[in-house]
Structure 1
Amino acid sequence: MRIIAGRHRGRKLVAPAGTATRPTSDRVRQALFDMLWHAPWAGRSAVDGAVVLDAFAGTGALGLEALSRGAERATFLETDAAALRALRANIAICREGERCTVLPTDAARPPRAAKACTLVFLDPPYGEGLLETSLRALSASGWVAPGALVCAETPAGPDEAAPPPGFTLLAERAHGPARVLFMRPEGGGA
């Protein structure tokens, strides 16, 4: 696993052993960011200068990729001890400590946000129905800015294919066992 593009391009990231953490593959991350940069509802401005939330962060690959491509800051939410060690190691590998905040907390029960995020990544464990629960909790706690772009990875099956209530689906793409949903909060502007 490595950073795909930007100023940290090619940096190798570490992942914890075992199956508790399921890092987003390089291929899916590349496709996700290509779509962000080229979609009419996003563009480079969706990443450049963004305040990023990487919820269910695992290794932090999504948030670190965004920083590499021009995001301003990133906050990572993660509870697994092994994933937190890998996440902190990856932040150090990329020398991004000053622009990162790591909160060892559950994205489905987050603390109040210090600043709303304009680009939100969610990669909850598959099959646990956490996409809707966490998006509702993150929104209620002030993490999701009006007009924010939300990118969520779900299983490719139909179980979690619809956007949660309060969010408008902009696009979706299947990549092997994963599906990426791109959404905005309803009534939040563009």
Structure 2
Amino acid sequence: MRIISGEFKGRRITAPKKLPVRPTTDMAKEALFNILNNLYFLDAISVLDLFSGTGNISYEFASRGTENIVAIDQDFGCIKFINDTAEGFEMPIKTIKSDVFKFLENTKQKATIIFADPPYDFPLEAFVKIPTLVFENNLLETGGILIVEHSKYTPLSHLPQFSYSKSYGGNVFSFFEGEQITEEEEEEEEKY
């Protein structure tokens, strides 16, 4: 895999073959970041990278100047690989070795962008559980989005908070948005 843009553009990263991963294709990654570049200043956001695998998506954010990145995966080999790669490139990626669902149930950490790339062969209930936990636990910052990567055979458009999806080959990115609250509502909430 290679980093497609930013400070580390063109750098190749070779993950060990034994890691249980399916990295996002370069074409899909490039299309995704074209969308995100139009929505956010990537150097001013925070990111949770769920089922981070090789860290492919985290490296793209770091290369584009994002400094608050947390990568979560339950595989020790994946976490070690991300730590080693991030250290080698001096990227500000923090890792957490955890089952993603347990992490989502227990964390209070919010992010502007939550990206989830679970195994494509997960049952539909597992895919549904991701946005459910994110929104039940209020893990998106105001104006934030949840992006779930999945195959074209996994329907997610019926879920609450679903906004739109984009397809690239066999990859689909489904975008979920919370209710946007105004600054006044946020200030009112903080009083309590």
TM over 0.5, yes or no? yes
Counterpart selection for 2:67 from 67, 72, 79: 72
Residue 17 of structure 1 aligns to a residue whose secondary structure is coil
Q: For 1:139 and 1:105, locate their aligned partners in 2 and report how far apart those are by CA, in whole Å.
A: 19
The 1:69/1:163 distance shift into structure 2, 3 A limit, reads: farther
- How many aligned residue pairs are there? 179
2:162 and 2:174 in contact (8 A); partners too: no
Residue 160 of structure 1 aligns to a residue whose secondary structure is coil
Shift of 1:183: 2.1
Aligned partner of 1:124 in structure 2 is: 118
Q: For 2:68 and 2:14, locate their aligned partners in 1 and report how far apart those are by CA, in whole Å.
A: 21
Is 1:81–2:76 an aligned residue pair?
Answer: yes
Counterpart selection for 1:106 from 90, 96, 99: 99
2:131 and 2:146 in contact (8 A); partners too: no
Structure 1's consecutive aligned runs of 4 or more residues displaced over 6 angstroms after TM superposition are none
User: Gaps spanning 5+ residues in structure 2: where?
Assistant: 183-192
2:19 and 2:78 in contact (8 A); partners too: no
Shift of 1:114: 5.2
| Larger mean Cα displacement after TM superposition, 87-96 or 135-144 | 135-144
CA shift digits 1:164-185 (9 cap, x unpaired): 33x131x322111211112212
1:15 and 1:23 in contact (8 A); partners too: no
Is 1:134–2:130 an aligned residue pair?
Answer: yes
Shift of 1:100: 2.0
Q: For 2:158 and 2:70, locate their aligned partners in 1 and report how far apart those are by CA, in whole Å.
A: 23
1:163 and 1:183 in contact (8 A); partners too: no
Aligned partner of 1:56 in structure 2 is: 51
Shift of 1:141: 4.3
Is 1:184–2:180 an aligned residue pair?
Answer: no
Shift of 1:145: 2.2
Structure 1 vs Structure 2 CA RMSD = 2.2
2:128 and 2:159 in contact (8 A); partners too: yes
Question: Which structure has the greater CA radius of gyration?
Answer: 2
Q: Which has the larger share of helix?
A: 2
Q: For 1:85 and 1:14, locate their aligned partners in 2 and report how far apart those are by CA, in whole Å.
A: 14
Shift of 1:156: 1.5
Aligned partner of 1:21 in structure 2 is: 21
Q: TM-score, normalised by structure 1?
A: 0.83
The percentage of counterpart residues that share the same residue type is 24
